[in-house]
Chain A
C-alpha cells in the first residue's frame, strides 16, 4: 500500500505540469476565498499577537475589564522580570539542550534505521517495520508510571537526561526517513558502492547522508518543534523549581504558584513561543513541506 502511494505525488505533479493550460481544477481564487482565508489567518495569528500585547502591559492592566488590544510600554520590564525572577533564562537553555540533543540523535538514528528498512534486505524486515509503525499509537500515558519509578530510583528527577533518553529515536522518524530514501536513493548507487568495496559505514557517510540531507533537515525541524513543545512527560520528570524546560516552567507560572502576575505568565508564554515562531517565519516553506510529506505517505 505504501509503495503505490509513494509513486502518486510525482506522477500527479508531472500530470499537473502537462495539463496546466486546460486544467479543470486550478481555479483562480475569488474574493470570497481571500476573505475566508484572511479570516482564518486572523484567527490563527490573533492569539499570538495578543500574547505580545499582554506581555507588554502591567499585571493590573491585563486583568482589567476591556482587555488591551494595543501594545503597552512594559514589555522590557516584564521580560527582564520573567528572565531573572522566574528563571525563564535557565528554562530556555534547558529546552534548547533537550530539543537539540533529541533532534540530533533522532535524525541520526532514524536515518540509519530508515536506510536499513528502505534499502537493505534482511530477515524480518517487513514485520519489524510494521512493529515500528504500530508503536506510534502507544500513548505516553502507558509508560510514565514505570519510567517515573526508574528515574526516581536512579536519582534522575529534575535531571535533563530523564527527558532526553526516552526520546533518542522516534518511530515517526524511522518511518519518515524510510519513505524518503525508498524514492530518493537509487538502489544501484548503494550496490555500486558495495561493488567498489565500500563497507557500510562508508556507504552511510558518502552515499546515504548526502542523499538524505534535505529529509534530515526537515525531520530535524519537526522533531525540534515537538521536543521543544513536549509537555506531559517533562511535566512529570522535571519540577518547576528544579531544572525545568520552558513548558514545565510555564506550567508552574500558570497553575501552581500563587504569584499570579498574568503579564509575567504571558511574557513567559511569549518567550517559549518566539524562538519557534522565528524558525517558522524563516523556514516556513520547508516545515510545511515536511509535515505534508510525513503525513500523506502514511
Chain B
C-alpha cells in the first residue's frame, strides 16, 4: 500500500514532498528524525489503514441494525407462534406448512404473479418504444423527457387515489370514455381481472417513463458504426432497432427486468389504496390481494407475526430464485456477447 502511494507520488508530487523516509533532502522539514515524527508516521499509517473502514462503517452499521438483524430475526420468528406483543412459542415449520395449505396464500401468490406480469411486461415494452422515439433528433426534447418522467415524481398514494377516481365504476372518466366508444361500463374494483388491470395501469403509469429514460441513456451509448454497418447492409430502421439496438442494450434491459420484478413482488400501496375500505384484504373477494398485503393483514390485522414472517421469507425465497435466473441469463449473455465481439473483430479485420 505504502509503496504504491510512493510510486505514484514520484511522478506527480513536487520534489519537496517526494519519497518520505528516503533520506530526505534539505528542504523536507517533515522528515525530522524525532519521536514526534515517529508518532506522526504511526498516526499517518493508522489514518491510511483505518479510515476506509471508518468511511464505510455508517452503511454497514445501519444495514446490520435495520437490515441484517431484522432479516434474521424475521426468519427466527417465522418458526414460531408469535402474537403482537406476546412471547414466542416454537412452531418449527408449522407456519410454512400452514401457508402451503392456505388458499389465501396461493391466491395472493397468484395475484402477485399476474399483476406483476401484466404491469411489468407492457411497461417495459412501452418504455423501449418510448426510448426509441426519444432517441430521434427532436425539438422539445427536454420537455418530452421531463413530461414522461413526471409520474415518477408522484407518490404511490397520490397516484393511486387519483386513478381510483378515474377508474370509478359509476362516475369515473375511464368508463365515461368507454361509454362514448360504445362499451358497457366495467366494474374496475369488484371484478378480478379489471381490478388487476387497473392496478397494473397505475404501476405502469408511474414507471414507464423512468424505464424509458434508462433505456435512452443505454441507447445513446451504442456505437454509431454498428448502425452504419447495418445501414450499409440494407437493414431497415425496424431491422436496425431489432438487430442492433435491442442486443446492444440487453444488459440494461435485464437490469430493468430485475428491478421491476423485485418491485412487483413487493406491491403493497397500489392495491391497498385502490381497494379503499376493503383495500387491506385486496378487495371484497381478495381478488387483488398481494403477498405484501397478506403479510400486513396477517401481522397487523390478525396479529399473527409468525405467519407474517413466514410470508416475508417466502418473498425472499422468490427473490433469490429471480436473482438466480437473472445470474444465469446474464452469464449466457456475456458468453454470447463475447462471441459476437469476436466475430465482429474478425469481420473488421477482414474488411480493413
What B residues does A137 contact at CB under 8 A?
258, 262, 319, 323
Considering the chains assembled together, what is the distance between the CA atoms of A199 and B51 in angstroms? 10
What B residues does A130 contact at CB under 8 A?
none
Across the interface, do B55 and A25 meet the contact criterion of CB distance under 8 Å? no
| Given known A120-B52, A266-B161, A287-B149, contact A139–B319 (CB-CB < 8 A) | yes
Q: Taking the nearest CB of chain A, how far is it from the CB of B212, in angstroms? A: 8
User: Is A84 an interface position by the 8 A CB rule?
Assistant: no
Considering the chains assembled together, what is the distance between the CA atoms of A292 and B71 in angstroms? 30
Across the interface, do B147 and A41 meet the contact criterion of CB distance under 8 Å? yes
Considering the chains assembled together, what is the distance between the CA atoms of A230 and B323 in angstroms? 24
User: Is B106 an interface position by the 8 A CB rule?
Assistant: no
What B residues does A97 contact at CB under 8 A?
none
Across the interface, do A166 and B157 meet the contact criterion of CB distance under 8 Å? no
Q: Which of A93-121 contact B (CB under 8 A)?
A: 109-110, 112-113, 115-117, 120-121
Of the residues B8, B62, B154, B220, contact of A168 by C-beta under 8 Å: B62
User: Is B153 an interface position by the 8 A CB rule?
Assistant: yes
Q: Which of B200-227 contact A (CB under 8 A)?
A: 205, 209-210, 213-214, 216-218, 220-225, 227
User: Is B69 an interface position by the 8 A CB rule?
Assistant: yes
Closest to A12 in B: B221
User: Is B136 an interface position by the 8 A CB rule?
Assistant: yes
Q: Taking the nearest CB of chain B, how far is it from the CB of A282, in angstroms? A: 10
Mark each residue of chain B from 24 to 62: 1 if its CB lies under 8 Å from any CB of chain A, else 0.
000000100000000000011001010111011011101
Considering the chains assembled together, what is the distance between the CA atoms of A69 and B161 in angstroms? 17
User: Is A80 an interface position by the 8 A CB rule?
Assistant: no
A contact patch SS: helix
Of the residues A15, A65, A269, contact of B158 by C-beta under 8 Å: A269
Across the interface, do B214 and A296 meet the contact criterion of CB distance under 8 Å? yes
User: Is B302 an interface position by the 8 A CB rule?
Assistant: no
Across the interface, do A50 and B166 meet the contact criterion of CB distance under 8 Å? yes
Across the interface, do A24 and B227 meet the contact criterion of CB distance under 8 Å? yes
Q: Taking the nearest CB of chain B, how far is it from the CB of A226, in angstroms? A: 10
What B residues does A206 contact at CB under 8 A?
none
Of the residues B18, B47, B153, contact of A199 by C-beta under 8 Å: B47
What B residues does A142 contact at CB under 8 A?
70-71, 74, 312-313, 315-316
Mark each residue of chain A from 246 to 280: 1 if its CB lies under 8 Å from any CB of chain B, else 0.
11001101111000001001101110110011011
Considering the chains assembled together, what is the distance between the CA atoms of A29 and B130 in angstroms? 13
What A residues does B291 contact at CB under 8 A?
141
Considering the chains assembled together, what is the distance between the CA atoms of A141 and B316 in angstroms? 9
Closest to A10 in B: B221
Across the interface, do A9 and B144 meet the contact criterion of CB distance under 8 Å? no
What A residues does B323 contact at CB under 8 A?
137
Mark each residue of chain B from 281 to 302: 1 if its CB lies under 8 Å from any CB of chain A, else 0.
0000000000110011001100
Q: Taking the nearest CB of chain B, how far is it from the CB of A279, in angstroms? A: 7
What A residues does B230 contact at CB under 8 A?
24
Across the interface, do A292 and B315 meet the contact criterion of CB distance under 8 Å? no
Across the interface, do B217 and A295 meet the contact criterion of CB distance under 8 Å? yes
User: Is A228 an interface position by the 8 A CB rule?
Assistant: yes
What A residues does B280 contact at CB under 8 A?
255
Considering the chains assembled together, what is the distance between the CA atoms of A152 and B9 in angstroms? 54
Considering the chains assembled together, what is the distance between the CA atoms of A276 and B147 in angstroms? 13
What B residues does A197 contact at CB under 8 A?
17, 30
Per the CB 8 Å criterion, the residue count for chain A at the interface is: 120
Across the interface, do B74 and A143 meet the contact criterion of CB distance under 8 Å? yes
| Given known A67-B171, A146-B73, A199-B47, contact A140–B266 (CB-CB < 8 A) | yes
User: Is B308 an interface position by the 8 A CB rule?
Assistant: yes
What B residues does A15 contact at CB under 8 A?
223-225
Q: Taking the nearest CB of chain B, how far is it from the CB of A151, in angstroms? A: 11
Q: Taking the nearest CB of chain A, how far is it from the CB of B230, in angstroms? A: 8
Across the interface, do B171 and A192 meet the contact criterion of CB distance under 8 Å? no
What B residues does A210 contact at CB under 8 A?
none
Q: Taking the nearest CB of chain A, how far is it from the CB of B344, in angstroms? A: 15
Q: Taking the nearest CB of chain B, how far is it from the CB of A25, in angstroms? A: 4
Considering the chains assembled together, what is the distance between the CA atoms of A87 and B319 in angstroms? 39
Q: Taking the nearest CB of chain A, how far is it from the CB of B129, in angstroms? A: 8
Instruction: Select the stretch in B93-101, B117-125, B187-195, B267-275 that faces chain A.
Output: B267-275
Across the interface, do A66 and B176 meet the contact criterion of CB distance under 8 Å? yes
Of the residues B58, B137, B151, contact of A113 by C-beta under 8 Å: B58
Q: Taking the nearest CB of chain B, how far is it from the CB of A55, in angstroms? A: 10
What A residues does B170 contact at CB under 8 A?
63, 65
Given A40-B130, A287-B149, output 12 extra A-B contacts at Cβ < 8 Å: A9-B217, A15-B224, A25-B228, A40-B147, A135-B67, A137-B262, A142-B316, A143-B70, A165-B62, A188-B8, A192-B12, A200-B51
26 A–B contacts from the bound complex (CB under 8 Å)? A16-B224, A23-B224, A29-B136, A40-B144, A43-B205, A47-B166, A48-B162, A113-B58, A138-B71, A142-B74, A152-B85, A191-B12, A192-B9, A195-B18, A197-B17, A232-B269, A266-B161, A266-B162, A269-B158, A269-B161, A273-B155, A277-B154, A280-B149, A291-B210, A291-B213, A292-B214
Q: Residues of A at under 8 Å CB distance from B?
A: 5, 8-9, 12, 15-16, 19, 22-30, 33-34, 36-37, 40-41, 43-45, 47-48, 50-51, 54, 62-67, 69, 109-110, 112-113, 115-117, 120-122, 125, 128, 132, 135, 137-150, 152, 165-166, 168-169, 171, 174, 187-188, 191-192, 194-197, 199-200, 225, 228-229, 231-232, 235-236, 246-247, 250-251, 253-256, 262, 265-266, 268-270, 272-273, 276-277, 279-281, 284-285, 287-288, 291-293, 295-296, 298
